[in-house]
Structure 1
């Protein structure tokens, strides 16, 4: 089993960050470019991976009261993950993303996982900034 975790501070209220992160319709704006989430009957979703051109049955749950999103594969149990938003005060937030790979076939390796997490967090921050700039904070 392999686990990877990355965090990033974002200059926005935790509610704003969580709202952006939990909006399934905007996942493509911050998830790794090769992953696409298609909602079925919540919490059921399908994740399409461009590199392999495969669809994976998954589950996705957003817990607004906890500012937490959890996901994972449904049948094969290959991977799971979560995103947690925490307020830091002064209008800033910390976002942590954690991935667990229970099946080596799903594990992209430490460098690829770290790079994907860092890139996703950076893209999420950009989306949050765009949204808060448009709404005036």
Structure 2
């Protein structure tokens, strides 16, 4: 934590979801804010503040650069960090057997996806949201 005008400031993160036109899966964009004495785009800072220890090695070992990359934001075109979608389809197929994959509601797919992808960068899905979306009868 750092001091800011006598108050402790905790880093904040802004998460946004966009559909990848190339991979045809959701992509999680994230922006770290209020980080003392560091560049918010700096990958070591992102890993330090957002990635739980359980996921650090796994995320760093994806591809050449790791699972967290930087690209122009789809709406603002400002360079922004995102979780690369290259392994999303495989992860979702493991979580949802192919037979269920086609029948799952979009809301349930997104909640499950947020649990898998978001959990790796500190985004927690509230249990009540999971219960309402995934467990509710049609």
Q: Does the pair score TM above 0.5?
A: no
Q: In proportion to residue count, which structure has more helix?
A: 2
Higher-Rg structure is 2
TM (norm. structure 1) is 0.33
Which of structures 1 and 2 has the larger relative contact order (alpha carbons within 8 angstroms, sep 6+)? 1
What is the TM-score when the length of structure 2 is the normalising length? 0.33
